Structure 1
């Protein structure tokens, strides 16, 4: 494979994973300073931030030359190799928190690759203090969660169903959609963008509930739970997540609309913005907004 073909493959990767790949640069820079942690992992020479783009380009090129189904069905382009010398450790960009995983090949029947999560939330490590003094045991051996009571297990089961889009959230109305009385709420519709003002985070429920999404960011006055965000893959699930969290506690969220490049839904400061190439979709959301507005009159 010549270099220009590799660049074309890498450009496709950047279009889909560019934002998360920028985060990966900071993560590998952090690992470069975390000497004690790297030593515990083994003979690992961490790729530098400057080397990362070229390393990922070569990784993606290699994936496109694999032929064995055992390999092609396992390795992913959204895995970022952490090591200069081998492909044993990866940062997984597809999961909230960008976990560090280690892979291992089993050379007996059934022949297979398996992965193990070593660090669940690498993106949070950068905020835990000096990398050179990190508590390695705390990172690699976090405390096991306490045993849940039957009531807690049932509540957790219900929450999981809601995030997976298997429960119906409350229907939107003027009291849940608007941050004020709704009279001053404004909608502006352009060619590929709809903006709504003075609306609550529950405005996500104006989108078709079956629409596939990926949660890129979900922030506010609450303890972040990356598993919740990873489970949320539809608008219906996101509507439940907002409702379950509490709209007043949310500061900002950003979701990409899967299957469409540069399409997203964001909320922050009372403003909800949908970017999409499908004009009919934007008009549908606009019409749903107008119907609730008319109920005010």
Structure 2
């Protein structure tokens, strides 16, 4: 099929816009990576902006991981992310499944209460008092349980469950399956795209945990990675004497950004197809 010149112009404009958008996303990442592995002298010679380093050094990463508490903070963040995401998915599924059954008594009232939490928040002080009364202060659970269920994710998963053929549930019940068996052996396996999509949302939220950490945790040994990274980013700029032998704060900052972002960047490609599928399936009904 021969394309007209109008089609070629439109395609050219589309490719140009996509190319510029890709550059806008890639160039900042290249800059951060390049500065983190470039000696400060070369960075200064290029006016502080460099995309392709001529000399590579990993001294910033060596210094970063030699910092007291950085490895411990990473393990805390990994624990919060893995355990927190598991708790989130289990509780979200247990809440969304009964709400997807139209025969559930009080279903409309519960949905109204969930919607209310999306519009209005209890506030910082009441949340702090509740966490304190539960004895969760200075605990990793204070960074997991207060956000155990996200209302928006409940609605997404509920919509996904509602889109499943009712015949599946009816045939399972005819065979004698109880609701727990229906949920575990039918609903959960079929809803893996939606589960992975929502799990990604939860995982990114836990990995970037910061606000609840500075609110509920004072024990430095329990600080997650983002809090420690913030301390590094806020370090006072060091003097520039003897630049060849010192490690500048800017290089440490870029290495910190890469350390905090790399795990999520590596995980996302493996669940990208499930993420797209889950978003589309979860939006069929609402």
Q: TM-score range by the shorter chain?
A: under 0.3
**Structure whose CA Rg is larger:** 2
Structure number with the bigger relative contact order (C-alpha 8 A, sep ≥ 6) is 2
Q: TM (normalized to structure 1)?
A: 0.22
Structure with a larger share of its residues in strand:
1
